[in-house]
A and B are shown apart, each in its own frame.
Chain A
Amino acid sequence: MFDVYEIRKQFPVLGRLINGKPNTFLDTGASAQKPQCVIDKMLKVYSEDYANVHRGSYLLSEEITLEYEKARKIVQKFINTKSDKEIVFTRNATESINLVAAAWGRKFLKKGDEILISEAEHHANLIPWQQVRDETGCTLKIFKIADDGSFIWDEFAKLLREKTKLVAVTAMSNVLGTIFPIKKMAQAAHNVGALFLTDACQFAVHHQIDVQDMDCDFLAFSGHKTYGPSGIGVLYGKYDILEKMPPYQCGGDMVDHVSYEKTTFAEPPARFEAGTPAIVQAIGLGEALNFMMNLGMDNITAHEKELTKYATEKLSEIEDLVQIGTAKDKGGVFSFVLKSVHPQDMAFILDKEGVALRIGHHCAEPLVHRMGYESVARATLGLYNTKEDIDRLVKAIEKAKTFF
């Protein structure tokens, strides 16, 4: 059974009073809080098990290498890849996407080729492609979404053609909450001979992922959003594609043979993990993903779905509040503005009431502008949020309104 009140107890920071008020944490979309098991695991590794990986010929190093590689296998299970060799550890989703842009994009894209992305991308899935465009002379196409944030198949299909070599789309928008039909889109991309990358940064926090079923070629997500530590991210790539890609950074750990004349590079994923990796963070991530899988991804989705429905209703009862992103297929992301109150003014009062959310353009400036705003407030759900959190949010918004 998914008992959110029991589960909350495993997140120590949620028990902290904020400005004397209960911690109403509604910013999981930016970064999630950590359960005790992740904190304990990392503390244990640092206290009892620490050494460098892949290097030493002694017990500690061999043990921790096994732990590090075990974390890779947990990621494999979490997103169901064919092989653990298809998992590259990075710093975060941003680095995962940059890796593909730099190693795959620069090698395989040229003038006349097209990259297709959506209007709803985070800067992390926009700017790397602009850079590749400027370096290779290829073209960056952007397909439109509806005013309510919905995905429109025809807008996507219209721009998908022979010239398209890569489609890179978020699985779930961090501003609108819109969930994109990744499996169908990947199939359409493959039909014109394009590769498909999905930014699963938000999606992975709330949903079961099966990369073989989705049939995407690349997938990126960040550990810190999936209840793991910061400093660790994941890039999944199909092995035959990773194999053809040159290294991203060079140094230790990623080589086969080195002489002053010539260096041959290791096979993936080692080829893309130059230098000492984020060892303890990777192990912490493994623990976090196990935590989610033990709760059951379907249980997490169901809990948040119910809460999303509740929050949508409650927010729509607030006079003067405009919700941004109301697609039918959306997850627990609520962007909104009050007609008469600047988001920053509101955020101040909310902070005083212990309610944490984010304001601004949420690293998706063109998208927020396209929706007609400079700055919006955004509340996002995590598996530990409750109806009481939503009630406190609503109460705090009502209070903020009395000030202006």
Chain B
Amino acid sequence: MNLRDPLAIARGLGSAKDGTQHWWVQRLTAVALLLLTPWFVWQVLGLIGADQYAVRETLGQPLNATLLLAYVLSMFWHAQLGMQVVIEDYVHGWFEIALQVTVKFAFAFGALASALAIGRIVFSA
């Protein structure tokens, strides 16, 4: 017999049992992307037509590399959260689980590969 007040169990938790964590992180990464996207677009416009050396030189600067890493990680995290919700809404049955796992792995791979590439650009620039 559970003597805990039902409200104590329910408070802060929706049916998914993880409360507002998913919602909150999606908004947090959204704000990060909102701030970083104009910076990124500005950088890319400045790099149009540049050769590989010049691109590495620019992206390898400490501040640029830091912001770029923040941008890429926020992007993959935000995208992964969004894809999860879209799949939850439109895909059902065993394929839903398979797709959720595949998407999580793919986006984790994308974030890791991007971070590795930025690291290589920084340390070889």
Query: Do the two shown chains form a genuine complex with each other?
Result: no
